[in-house]
Chains A and B, each alone.
Chain A
């Protein structure tokens, strides 16, 4: 099975712009989660989607949003970018069965200048 695929791998944006990140989960996985990874805060949960519905949300401002499509692919959007949004954004997929575990992608490295 192909792993979780995130595109693009790298992004450079300017303050005030918006950005969209994409994630394709492992085939058959219907849950997609997003995490932000920074040196200072570590891995922080953004949100989780299942069957196109957001089930969980982390403590991030409304500038961070996401969605999930019927094929389970997910996108994350950040509007009005700030310098502090520079981070590695990780997507993870999972099943919802008994053996629950997250399978991570390689991430999108976002740099805001």
Chain B
């Protein structure tokens, strides 16, 4: 069965510092990977998808199939980036997401 692991429950950085939220997955096939974000008092929302190879709010994530990782990175963290971040995996054969347990990012002033 597929699995998504986010090793850090909490991550704290200072404003302007680089940030990397780790995500590892276990699945032998070719999954689709996502990052979802939940800001305080807001609903869970899509941040980015690996297929789009896009940068959203300065965040990027590269799928590394060799290391089965999909780490989320931003070179200069902002206070408004403080939120709960979830990595998620979808098998191409179905329409469900398997989520990691999430990482709470706090960006200090």
Contacts and interface: CB of A to CB of B under 8 A. Distances in A.
Interface of A: 3-4, 31, 33, 35, 42-45, 48, 50, 55-56, 58, 90, 94, 96, 100-107
B96 A58 contact: yes
B96 A33 contact: yes
B94 to A, nearest CB: 5
Given A58-B96, A103-B46, A106-B43, 18 more contacts: A42-B99, A42-B101, A43-B97, A44-B99, A45-B97, A48-B94, A48-B96, A55-B94, A56-B94, A90-B44, A100-B90, A100-B95, A101-B49, A102-B36, A102-B97, A104-B44, A105-B43, A107-B43
B95 A104 contact: no
Interface of B: 32, 34, 36, 43-46, 49, 86, 90, 94-102
A33 B95 contact: yes
A43 B86 contact: yes
Contacts of A3: 43
8 contacts: A3-B43, A31-B95, A42-B99, A48-B94, A56-B94, A102-B36, A105-B43, A107-B43
Given A43-B86, A55-B94, A56-B94, A101 B46 contact: yes
Contacts of B94: 48, 55-56
A55 to B, nearest CB: 6
Contacts, number: 48
Contacts of A43: 86, 97, 99
A56 B95 contact: yes
**What's the dominant secondary structure at chain A's contact region?**
strand
A42 B44 contact: no
9 cross-chain pairs, A with B, having the tightest CB-CB distances, nearest first: A43-B99, A104-B44, A42-B101, A45-B96, A101-B46, A56-B96, A104-B43, A106-B43, A56-B94
A104 B45 contact: yes
Given A100-B90, A101-B46, A42 B102 contact: yes
A42 B43 contact: no
